[in-house]
Each structure stands twice: as C-alpha cells, then as structure tokens.
Structure 1
Amino acid sequence: MTTMDGTSTATSATPVLTVRDLVVEARRPDGAPLRILDGVGFDVAAGQTLGVVGESGSGKTMTATAVLGLLPPGVSVTSGGIRFADRELVGLRESQRRELRGKGIAMVFQDPLAALNPVQPVGQQIGEIARRRDGLSRAAAGRLAVDLLERVGVPDPAGRARAYPHQLSGGLRQRAVIAMALAGQPRLILADEPTTALDVSVQGRILALLTKIQAEDGVSVLLISHDLRVMSHAAQQVAVMYAGKVVERGATREVLHRPRHPYTAALVRSVPAVHSRSAPVAPIPGNPPRLAALPTGCRFHPRCPLAVERCRVEEPVAREVGPGRVAACHRAEEVLP
C-alpha cells in the first residue's frame, strides 16, 4: 500500500530513512517565508538505492542537506519529519547531528576537490573519521585508510594516502571521498551528483563502485542526479522532483518506461538513451518556475502538453496510480509511456 504523500506503508522491514511531509523554508527580505521544499515524502529501504531526479532547482540537493542537517543559514525545516533508523532527526541538537554525520549517515559530494581539505593528505582525512568513530590510534587509522583506498580501487593506495587532493585526478579524488564515507561504516550514503564533474568513462566506474559497495555492505544510498541514465543503472526506486515537490515515485524501471506524470515523460523524452536510441531528443519547453513566483494549480502546467483548466486552478495531490506507483497529476492515467 502507498500513502498519499508517495511513501510505502507495506515494506518487509523498517526503512533506513523515512521522510514525511517535509517543508523547508527560507525568509525573504521582507520577512515572508519562501517555501523551498513542499511536502516532500519518500522511503529509502535497507540495502537499496533511491534515486532523486529533476532539473536544477527542483530541490534535490536541499532535500539531502535537510537530511544531513546542513541547511544554509536562514533556511530551516518548518514542518514534517525525517526519521533515520527509528530516530527522528528534526529537532536534534547540533551536537547530536554531528554524532550521526560520517557514522550513521555519510555524504559523497558532487565536487570532491571542494569536499577534501587541501592541506591534509587524503589518507589522514580518511583515517580521522575512523579515529573519531572507533578511537583508533593514528597508526591503525592510517592502515585502515590505505585498506579503504585499496577497496575503492585506488592504485598504489599507500602512496596515494600520502598525496594531497590536488595531486590526484578527479576520478581518484572521488574514490577518496567514497573511502571517507565508508570509514564511518554508515548505514546510509547520500550521494549528490557524484559523477557530474567526471568524464564519461570515469562516471561508469564510479557508479559501478557504488553499486558494488551497496551489495557488499548492505548500505542504503540516496542518489541525487539530473541524469536519468544514471538512475536507470544505479537505482531500484526513483523519486522525480519538480519545483520543490515529489511529483512521481516508484520502481525505476516502471517510472522510466511507463511514466505517469507529464514532467517525468518529458524528462524521459529528452534523453534518447532512456527513451529510445532512435528517437529524436525532445527538450522540455520553457523553464522551471521561480519558487518566489510559482504558478497557481499544478506547478508544471505552463510547460505541460496535457494541461486543462483544472490543472491551472487546482493543485494535484499525490495519489496511487498503480502498484507501488504514485503521481501528482490530475491526468496521470492519460500520460503516454
């Protein structure tokens, strides 16, 4: 069974991460609230990958930073819940949040060079996480760092552990960041566009590495990307976001091959490798709305080929449109695959 906010209530085990009706707001210069995330909800099952996909500005990264408790100054969760391993995260003190970061929840950032300390060798940075978690000696933490670098496929791991971030290629830096994430033995990894800054040949190897780690460790992954090709290879479930809301959610294969929201269908048609190698690329017309000037009714209706008067005046609620499938669209049953 699936709830109206797009989350599953019939799972074989408690999800590692449960997000319910999450609202995140900032303050405008005049003091009025600006809603950035509006009722976001999903589950991340144990040992699985949930992909979060959408155009830039849809709220993907803001969702991950809300889970991690690293929202920018002036931005806060105003309602809803984020539950990790049966622990509610909304309202935790910062000291409690720090205990979870790197241990229970780890982050793999889009730009590994920005995520690494430029004045420390990468091995020292990886080992420091293990020292904080398990109280290892410096020597033991150093050995663990070399082992982790070897595990993530870094050649000459002992030598690379002594290297500084700028001395590594982009692909090796990303592997070092993944090793840092593993050092805390997390149950959940948040991967925010982990392949965007890499060339195509390296992207595939990084995705394969994340998939291998998930299988070996049983770790759950929240994978953020704008690229449906990434999702088709790496995620079992996918949530599609538009203008701060989840507009469709379900099994990745079902969502990509039989979309039930016009926005999802438009995303699929814009990527030939997902839709059909012989099909022409069909860019989505128009631009996403500004959060400060959202249209009435459905937020996608100004760009939607199926929009009718109801779409312009009534905001659709997320509803069940098939087994394990949820879409926020008045005309979901009419969306062509």
Structure 2
Amino acid sequence: MNNIVSCEDLVITYQSSNGPVRALDGVDLTIAEGETLAIVGESGSGKSTLGMAMGRLLPSEAGREAGRLEVDGMPVFDMARDDLRRLRRDTLGFVFQNPMVALDPTMRIGRQMQRAMGRRARAEDIHALLERGELDDPERVANSFPHQLSGGMAQRVVVAMAIARSPRLLIADEPTASLDASIQDKVIGTLCRLRKESGASLVILSHDVHMIARHADRVAVMYGGRIVEQGTTARVLGAPVHPYTRALLKAAAGHEKPGEWLTPIPGTPPLLTGRCAACSFEPRCSVSRDICRSSRPKPRTVEEREVLCLLAGSEAERKEVAQ
C-alpha cells in the first residue's frame, strides 16, 4: 500500500518575543492511502502544527528547521507557490474546529459551495453535495447565511465543502470540539462515511480518545512535539505501553463509572526552546529512571507498535500496568 503522507524527523519552530519555541521536535510518520489516522494528545503536544504543516498552512512566525514532509509524493516545504496551490486545491481537504470561522459570514452557503466546487455548479449539484453531507433541507441551507444554521449544520456544510473536489487527504482539526455532545458523534460519523465513499485518507487531530477509538484505524499519540506511541487503535488504546498514553486514558472523561475518579496527569507539558536531549515526559512520568533524564528515546517496536520510551517492556513498566 502506498503512503499519501511521509514525514521524517520534521522540526517546526515558532519565533516568539521570548525566543524560539519548538513545536515539532523530530516527527516520523507515514499515512497510508485510504486509512483513517487519529493524532491525539494534550493542547501543546504539536498535533495541530503537524496537521497544518501537511498543507503548509502554518503562520508566518513558524518555519521548518529540519526534516522532510511529503504529501502525495510532493515535498511540501520545497514546492513552488503554484504547485502548492494545486496541492491544496486538488489533493487536500480541511475541516477546521469552528465552522463559523471557516465559513464566510457575508456569503450565502450556496455561493460558498459553488466556489468550493471550482466550477459553474448548478443548483442541483450543490444540493446533492449538501445531501451527501446529511443536510435534510439542502435548498434552504444553500439559501442561508452561516449564522442562520446551527453549529452541527454549519460543520456538515464545512465537511461537504472539504470533499467537493474529491481530495485524496482530509485533515480534520478538532472537528467536533465546538459542537454539542449530542451531535459530535453524528458529525464525525458523516465525515468518516464520506471518507470511505471517496477512498480518501483521513487525519483526525483530537484530544478525545474515546471518540477516535470508534472511528480510527490507527492512532498516533503526540507529546512534546514527537509521536511517542503509534499503532492500530485496538493495540494503542486497548493495551498502551507508553506511560503517557496510559496517563492520557486515565485522565479522559467519558467512560468513568459512577463514583469513579479520573486521574489527572501531574505537571504541565514542556515548552521546548530547542532539541530535547532526554525524554520530554520524564518530569511527569511515574516510572522514570535516571536514564530517562539523560537519554533521548529512539523509535523501537514494542508489542507490535512503535514507541518512544526507554523503559517500555521493562519490569518497571510492567509493574505500573499491573497497578
């Protein structure tokens, strides 16, 4: 199976008034054609930076310091401006967190859909695309302004616009975070159905591990600008081996029983000003050892998934799992 995305040792740095801040600290990742990959982690883990880098949509203060990123075989950070426009237009589709920001408030939905389709689309073509997005009254929706739609309807419009040109890669950044809990799963279900119908690959950037468990083929867990564990959803979320993945699951709301307490992760995520020479999770890790403070973990295979942990599979790690 071919890869739609290939990323090797990618380093992205933001320039701030207090000096450089490293958002990605050497990311290695591939995404296969037709698969759904979820990238999960706390705010500040680097997942949104990685997703936006795939379309070179980073702000002006962000820059690639090192590494390689290819989408559909094209070097994203080394492309000419015209080639980049074609990549964004023909290969990529984006679903952002807040549909009211993604949509133009001054333009009716039908006109925005027509522009997204990139041709002189007829009204029936626009209505058909809105129906694919599971909007029950496409004519009314097409004649509406964004503020006249509910949040769930607006996000379905954004999803329909994202698939208008049959992209090969869909990137959804916290696509349900601004929606009511009652419709979150329905919207992500619509997105995944359209992905399946088109054969595109889908990247979901999220902190909601329970939601992505129902929809993703594979999970990549990010922390400190690196992917610390990745593998099939069943393995990573069913039997995590990295201490951070285990801590993330214990802190995630949604499946707790009455009277059961969630366990917050102590401390805060790191703020990197340069390459982390050790394990970035060590200050918050319950099983860390001296070696974790002095050695940078390298990717290795543990229990049929790739993990960045010097202790994964060790006796200390097994004791924590048993607790």
Q: Same fold (TM over 0.5)?
A: yes
Note closer, same or farther for the CA distance 1:222–1:303 as it changes in structure 2 (3 Å cut): same
Cα deviation, 1:110-152, whole Å, max 9, x if unaligned, reads 0000000111111111111222xxxx32xx3443221111111
CA displacement at 1:35 relative to structure 2: 2.0
**1:233-262, Cα deviation, whole Å (9 max, x unpaired):** 111101100111111111111001111110
Of 77, 82, 86, which aligns to 1:90? 77
Q: CA deviation at 1:292?
A: 3.5
Output the CA distance in 1 between the equivalents of 2:302 and 2:234.
15
TM-score (norm 1): 0.89
Letter in 1 for 2:161: M
Specify the alignment match of 1:15 in structure 2: 3
Please list every run of 5 or more consecutive structure 1 residues that lacks an aligned counterpart in the other structure.
1-12
- Give the secondary structure class of the aligned counterpart of 2:163: helix
Pick which of 87-96 and 171-180 moved more.
87-96
SS in 2 for 1:332: coil
**Counterpart for residue 103 of structure 2:** 116
The structural deviation recorded for 1:95 is 2.3
Query: Is 1:333 the counterpart of 2:313 in the alignment?
Result: yes
- Residue 321 in structure 1 maps to residue 302 in structure 2: yes
SS of the counterpart of 2:114?
Answer: helix
Q: Using the TM superposition, name which of 289-298 and 214-223 deviates more.
A: 289-298
Work out whether residues 14 and 63 of structure 2, in 8 Å CA contact, stay in contact via their aligned partners in 1.
yes
Alpha carbons 2:20, 2:273 under 8 Å: kept = no
CA contact (8 A) 1:127 1:183 kept: no
Equivalent-residue separation in structure 1 for 2:123 and 2:4 (angstroms): 30
**C-alpha spacing 1:191/1:41, structure 2 compared with 1 (3 Å):** same
1:300 is aligned to: 281
Q: For residue 195 of structure 1, what is the amino acid of its counterpart?
A: T
Aligned partners of 2:199 and 2:235: how far apart in 1?
A: 24
Does residue 125 (structure 1) correspond to residue 105 (structure 2)? The answer is: no
For 1:264 and 1:276, locate their aligned partners in 2 and report how far apart those are by CA, in whole Å: 20
Q: 1:1-337, aligned counterparts within 5 Å?
A: 13-29=1-17, 33-131=20-118, 136-137=119-120, 140-271=121-252, 273=254, 280-292=261-273, 297-323=278-304, 325-334=305-314, 335=317, 336=321
Opposite residue 198 of structure 1, the aligned amino acid is L
Cα offset, 1:296, TM superposition: 5.4
Amino acid at match of 1:284: I
Of 273-282 and 180-189, more deviation after overlay is shown by 273-282
Q: Could you tell me how far apart the structure 2 residues matched to 1:259 and 1:286 are?
A: 21
Contact 1:124/1:145 (<8 A) preserved: no
8 Å contact 2:276–2:296 — kept in the other structure? no
Structure 2 unmatched ranges of 5 or more: none
Task: Render the CA deviation track for 1:278-318: whole Å, top value 9, x for unaligned.
Answer: 85311111111222388752111111000111111112112
- SS of corresponding position for 2:21: strand
Is contact 1:130-1:141 (8 Å) kept? no
One-letter identity of the residue aligned with 1:330: L
How big is the shift at 1:90? 2.1
Q: CA deviation at 1:27?
A: 2.7
Q: What is the CA RMSD across the aligned residues, in angstroms?
A: 2.0
Distance 1:48 1:279, change over 3 A: farther
State the one-letter code of the partner of 1:326: E
Question: What secondary structure is seen at the aligned counterpart in 2 of 1:78?
Answer: strand
Give distance in 2, aligned partners of 1:321 and 1:195.
32
User: Does the CA-based 8 Å contact 1:257-1:275 persist in structure 2?
Assistant: no
Q: What number of residue pairs does the alignment pair up?
A: 317
Letter of the 2:282 counterpart: H
- Aligned residue type for 1:97: L
